[in-house]
Amino acid sequence: MKIIILTAAIVLVSRQFLFEPVSVHGQSMMPTFEEDDKVVLSKISRIDNFDMIVFVAPDKKNYIKRVIGIPGDRVEMKDDQLYLNGKRVAEPYLEENRKWAKENGYPELTADFGEFIVPGDCYFVLGDNRLNSVDSRMIGFILEEAVIGEVKFRLSPVENIGIVK
């Protein structure tokens, strides 16, 4: 009985403070994540540029997005090209979506927005499926306290199990 109670306590503490499994809902991160993919979040990670996080949005739903800007970063989008702290940044995770956009008559994946600085204790996030994503362009900056965790591991689909990069 002691072993069962100890095991249950370890699982509960780990889930509350260290890790949390979640399901992906929506198409905003396609093709990186598809509907109903299962991922594991780390609740103790330091969030950095281009990490993928799950957070509680203003509508009280959990969203998964890619962190583009961290506190103090200067972010700008010009001619479908991301600039971070004045430097042009490649976004290879967008290639499949860029191809689809061009084939379907969309001249750009991401509309221009002027340079701004990400405030302290906030993140600027975008979905990989930029044409179909509710992200910081619509809902504003994400407060650090709204972040549930960083996506670290994919549990499903089976062919994609592994560490998320």
Residues 9-16: what's their mean pLDDT?
Answer: 58
> Does 127 have pLDDT greater than 90?
yes
Q: Which residue has the higher pLDDT, 128 or 6?
A: 128
Q: How far is CA 58 from CA 25, 53, 55, 120, 132, in A?
A: 16, 15, 10, 18, 18
Q: Helix, strand, coil shares of the chain as percentages rounded to 5?
A: 25, 35, 40
Determine the pLDDT at residue 18. Answer: 61
Question: What is the count of structural domains for the chain?
Answer: 1
Catalytic residue among 2, 14, 23, 28, which?
28
Residue 12 belongs to domain with CATH number: 2.10.109.10
Token pair 């702290």: residue: 85
At residue 144 the predicted structure's pLDDT band, cuts being 50, 70 and 90, is very high
To the query of whether residue 102 is one of the catalytic residues in this protein, the response is no
Residue 13 pLDDT more than 60? no
Determine the pLDDT at residue 3: 79
State which residues form the domain around 8.
2-163
State the pLDDT confidence band at 22, using cuts at 50, 70 and 90: confident
61 part of the active site:
no
Mean pLDDT score, 42-59: 94
DSSP state of 43: S
From 42, 65, 87, 99, the catalytic residue = 65
The rounded distance, in Å, linking the Cα atoms of 73 and 49 is 9
